[in-house]
Amino acid sequence: MHRRIMAPGALAAASLMLAIPASAASHSPGAPGIGDPYYPAYGNGGYDVSHYDLRLKYQPATDELEGTATLLARTTQDLSRFNLDFLLDVSEVRVNGAKASFVTSGEHELEITPKAPLAKGAAITVVVRYRGVPSSKEAYGFTSWHRTPDGGAGANEPEAAWWWFPSNDHPLDKATFDVSVQVPDGTQAISNGTLQSTSSRLGWTRYNWRSDKPQATYLATLAVGRFDVTTGTSESGIPVINAYSKDLGDKTGAAKASIERTGEIADWLSEYFGPYPYNALGGYVPNTDTGYALETQTRPYYSPRNFANGSNTTLVVHELAHQWYGDLVSVKGWKDIWISEGFARYAQWLWSEHEGEGTAQEIADYVYASRAADDAFWQVRPGDPGPENQFHLAVYDRGALTLQALRNEIGDDAFFAVLKGWTQKYAYGNASVADFQRYAEEVSGKPLAALFDTWLFQPSKPGAAAAGAASIARVSGVPGQPESWKKIAATNDVHEH
């Protein structure tokens, strides 16, 4: 299903293309995808965005979103045209001030042809004016926009931006964000980073949010609704803003008992992972019926269902661990998901140890022993799980087992030096599974190819020899289930992202 929109003047622009001088013939279209084998259409080629300025207005009663996105970017090749990823209805595009023609294609492509070709290395400003009802849009048969009784929220992985702003939608292209949203008085707009200011007039309140460190597009979030907002400061001095839907009902207490510990948990994690990398902290719970949570940068998204059974600090630990593993150091390609989820899961095991609810080793022993060799769980290769298994439980649990095996192989000193050094080495950038193996070998001075191959890349349960060498499953039979693991198991239908 292709929707084609052509701006006034587009036909004229197209025919002018024929008359472009020979010197411009080397200009070619930017690729419609950034080159991720799991998701060939995600992201785009030919340019790199440094900043998104989103100036929006949202009406909760009708789910109508309208506004203007201004993208600051630099071309990485001579460009005749380029794509953005987007689903809402575009009325105008300008490149460097001049009206550009555009068409939509594929599931989520917006193809933009600037009036004049763009030279490699040029700074460009792209303005996209748009409107639409996000909940009415689907791509590949799904939506990442969650309509709520009092508004809506955009959060998903690996894609969420298409429903609310045009972007180069892949973690390889990180950028800073200003998100300014006008909503009816009495309603709040929640996004990433710091709340720079609010202003009110004629029945509308504007919220100006700023996320001033590089941020992947899927980690940008927007929620509008009626929220109780709490503010504070972590012991280490990071401002905290949390927001809870006013309609969480009997889950309100459990949500607050978990998320109000954000500052404490971030400070604790920083002892393992290095200084907290952003100038804002928090979390928010819109009144959605999704089951998952997401590590949206500086301010994770949680679902009410995450708090159905009482407090869920292990989930807060997971999403905050991602602020280092996944957000600060992002995947190069989506096949590298282990460098995000394996570590966020392992942080939960460290928290369990901290809380006296079972050591990381005890949980590893339990997970290893409780899954028989013929369990399909072991067929998933966390180091390259395939798009269909990107968020399979094995990426998390076998992924964390890998880290326990590494810890036992290289010892605590080297292991924790690797955890901390990694986040510094690749700060605000991207890395792969292979990069991690290389770094762990460099820090520990040990060859680790066999260990990583066994635990991340073989479609089978690592044998007793590998497990024994890694001190996993030293116990015979299935050991007792650590207390913290019961909690994680109980919330598995509402899994972490």
Contact positions vs Zn ion (CB under 5 A): 341, 344, 496-497
Nearer Cβ to Zn ion (344/401): 344
Residue 317 CB, nearest approach to Zn ion (Å): 11
Residue 169 CB, nearest approach to Zn ion (Å): 19
Q: How far apart are CA 217 and CA 165, in angstroms?
A: 9
Residue 497 CB, nearest approach to Zn ion (Å): 5
Nearer Cβ to Zn ion (159/496): 496
- Only one residue has tokens 């004229």, namely 12
CB 301 within 8 A of CB 294: yes
Contacts of 455 (CB under 8 A, 6+ apart): 382, 398, 401, 402, 405, 462, 466
Contacts of 181 (CB under 8 A, 6+ apart): 54, 56, 57, 58, 189, 191, 206, 207, 209, 222, 224
Q: How far apart are CA 372 and CA 376, in angstroms?
A: 9
Instruction: Mark residue 293 as left, alpha or beta (left: phi above 0; alpha: psi -120 to 50; beta: remaining).
Output: beta
Nearer Cβ to Zn ion (407/497): 497
Nearer Cβ to Zn ion (102/351): 351
Nearer Cβ to Zn ion (27/497): 497
Nearer Cβ to Zn ion (182/215): 215
Nearer Cβ to Zn ion (181/219): 219
At 265, the amino acid letter reads: I
Residue 318 CB, nearest approach to Zn ion (Å): 6
Nearer Cβ to Zn ion (300/462): 300
Tokens of 253: 């207490």
Residue 496 CB, nearest approach to Zn ion (Å): 4
Contacts of 374 (CB under 8 A, 6+ apart): none
Nearer Cβ to Zn ion (79/315): 315
Residue 146 CB, nearest approach to Zn ion (Å): 18
Q: How far is CA 285 from CA 27, 96, 177, 288, 306, in A?
A: 47, 39, 21, 8, 10
Q: How far apart are CA 384 and CA 115, in angstroms?
A: 42
CB atoms under 10 Å from CB of 19, counted, come to: 6
Q: How far apart are CA 495 and CA 497, in angstroms?
A: 7
- Identify which of 155, 399, 431 has the alpha carbon closest to the alpha carbon of residue 295: 155
Nearer Cβ to Zn ion (94/381): 381
Residue 140 CB, nearest approach to Zn ion (Å): 22
Q: Strand 329-331 relative to strand 281-285: parallel, antiparallel, unpaired?
A: unpaired
Residue 155 CB, nearest approach to Zn ion (Å): 13
Residue 341 CB, nearest approach to Zn ion (Å): 5
Cα atoms found within 13 Å of the Cα of residue 212, Cβ hemisphere only: 9
Cα end-to-end span (Å), the chain: 30
Cis? peptide before 158, omega within 30° of 0:
yes
Residue 192 CB, nearest approach to Zn ion (Å): 17
State the DSSP string of 357-389.
Answer: S--HHHHHHHHHHTS-TT-GGGGS-TTS--GGG
Is the four-CA dihedral 160, 164, 169, 173 of positive or negative sign? Answer: negative
Tokens of 291: 């089951």
Nearer Cβ to Zn ion (224/395): 395
Nearer Cβ to Zn ion (108/497): 497
At 91, the amino acid letter reads: S
Backbone dihedral angles phi then psi of residue 68, each to the nearest 5 degrees: -135, 130
Q: How far apart are CA 145 and CA 287, in angstroms?
A: 13
3-class DSSP assignment, residue 39: coil
Angle at CA of residue 118, ends 112 and 120, nearest 5°: 125
